[in-house]
Homo-oligomer: A and B are copies of this chain.
Amino acid sequence: FTTLLGIRLIVNFDSLLQGWVRSIRSQKSNLFLHLNDGSSLQSLQVVASPELNDPSLTFGSAVEVTGVLKKSPHRNQPVELEADQIHVVGECNPVDFPFKTKERHSLEYIRQFPHLRCRTNAFSSLLRVRSEATTAIHSYFKENGFVQIHTPVITSNDCEGAGELFQVEPSSAEVEEGENFFSVPAYLTVSGQLHLEVMSGAFSRVYTFGPTFRAENSQSRRHLAEFHMVEAEVSFTESLEDLTKVMEDMFRSATEHVLAHCAEDVDLFHKHVTPGHRTSYLTLLYIFYYLCYSTELYINFSSSFSQWGCDLQTEHEKYLVKHCGNIPVFVTDYPYDLKPFYARDNKDHPRHSAAAVDLLVPGVGELCGGSLREERLDLLRARLEEVGLEDTYSWYLDLRRFGSVPHGGFGLGFERYLQCILGVDSIKDVIPFPRFSHSCPL
């Protein structure tokens, strides 16, 4: 087969075109169909004699058309298919089918039909963009010498220490009452960071891209119980700039790839699905602003927030991004006490910050969070002892006992990235099957 106009054609003696009907127009002398096979937003026009019309030829039905591919007289399509035969493979009752021809349904409306919404233009565009963005991210890391690691979904550690964990046990009586299947309580991962840190004791650069979980009891447009994170860890680095450079480069390279491969799909979102956005605004996202929490942020914005040592709330993040001209903003060197045990101590008393960085972007707020990791055994042990976790993390201390290197890394919320480049308000509209409190259909 060959791909033409995004339409896959199996060329035998005649051309065979297979796809779903996106529109039908019946004129006196001709029947016009638009067929789509999901390979692009574009449909291919089929021209047939009116005798080939059939009542089962409806919006959403699946058809096979044989015919001859010809140069089209119309400007906006290079070719069209002159049909010899039209065979309806799968009917689609227009009364029962929840989507109607020529209607532009809202993202909220189509979300009610998780098993059918991929058949709309908007959601199939989203899925193509998501697939291309995934490819782009893998390519970026591959081209830059990162080894991909499949970090585990099931884990016995709570990397972030934030609670909100899902626990995992067999559904049937595979284990004795009161015992755990894994002998220890096991959870769904909230981050692959600690497992990547294991690997950064043997590889200069590693990354992972996979599902991550939070048992947050929220149905808001910002929360999912299952989402995707891209996480990277770089060894032999002593500066946050090494990390922010990777974040910047990955962001640019993924966005450029998506625009190069799915321009029409991105355009559909900017023009119709989330109006108010323009594709040109994406170029703004290639400029990054840097703000140090400990110095600039404290001096310039302290009156807008509260005193030094407070975490940034979503509204603060949005304010900062707006104030900087709606471009991505790196905030660096957060107060030490706000950050988890693994963040590297800047040793900058009296204020005392950690070498941590967040990337804030327009419309979304925090897109990435990263830090240098505390590689010094004595400092790390002291901090773990303070919180009584030195036994739980004795394996993690081992990483600093044997050939420890200065290293750091970050995580990017993949759904938030898609929201940012497409301008989509709800995180539920950028993932194939959203899972959140009280919702897990299919």
Residues of A375-434 at the interface with B, using a CB-CB cut-off of 8 Å, are 375, 395-396, 398-406, 431-433
Check A439 against B183 for contact (C-beta < 8 Å): yes
Q: How many Å from the CB of A98 to the closest CB on chain B?
A: 9
Partner among B135, B151, B166 whose Cβ is within 8 Å of the Cβ of A433: B151
Check A432 against B211 for contact (C-beta < 8 Å): no
Check A203 against B130 for contact (C-beta < 8 Å): no
Check B90 against A375 for contact (C-beta < 8 Å): yes
Check A168 against B166 for contact (C-beta < 8 Å): yes
Q: How many Å from the CB of A241 to the closest CB on chain B?
A: 14
**Interface membership of A191, Cβ < 8 A:** no
Check A201 against B154 for contact (C-beta < 8 Å): no
Q: How many Å from the CB of A390 to the closest CB on chain B?
A: 15
Given contacts A18-B204, A202-B38, A403-B20, contact A195 B432 (CB under 8 A): yes
Partner among B128, B135, B202 whose Cβ is within 8 Å of the Cβ of A20: B202
Q: How many Å from the CB of A94 to the closest CB on chain B?
A: 10
**Interface membership of A354, Cβ < 8 A:** no
In the bound complex, residues from chain B placing their C-beta under 8 Å from that of A96 are 401-402
**Interface membership of A184, Cβ < 8 A:** yes
Residues of chain A at interface, number, CB under 8 A: 106
Check A398 against B18 for contact (C-beta < 8 Å): no
Check A432 against B152 for contact (C-beta < 8 Å): yes
Q: How many copies does the complex hold?
A: 2
Complex Cα–Cα for A19 and B205 (A) = 12
In the bound complex, residues from chain B placing their C-beta under 8 Å from that of A235 are 18
**Interface membership of A31, Cβ < 8 A:** no
In the bound complex, residues from chain B placing their C-beta under 8 Å from that of A18 are 204, 235-236, 405
Q: Which residue of B lies closest to A405 (CB)?
A: B62
Check A226 against B154 for contact (C-beta < 8 Å): yes
Q: How many Å from the CB of A438 to the closest CB on chain B?
A: 5
Complex Cα–Cα for A158 and B16 (A) = 37
Q: Give the B-binding residues of A (Cβ under 8 A).
A: 3, 8, 18-21, 37-39, 60-62, 64, 89-93, 96-97, 114-116, 118-119, 124, 127-128, 130-131, 134-135, 138, 142, 145, 147-157, 163-172, 174-175, 181-188, 194-195, 198-199, 201-204, 210-211, 213, 215, 217, 225-226, 228, 235-236, 375, 395-396, 398-406, 431-433, 435, 437-442
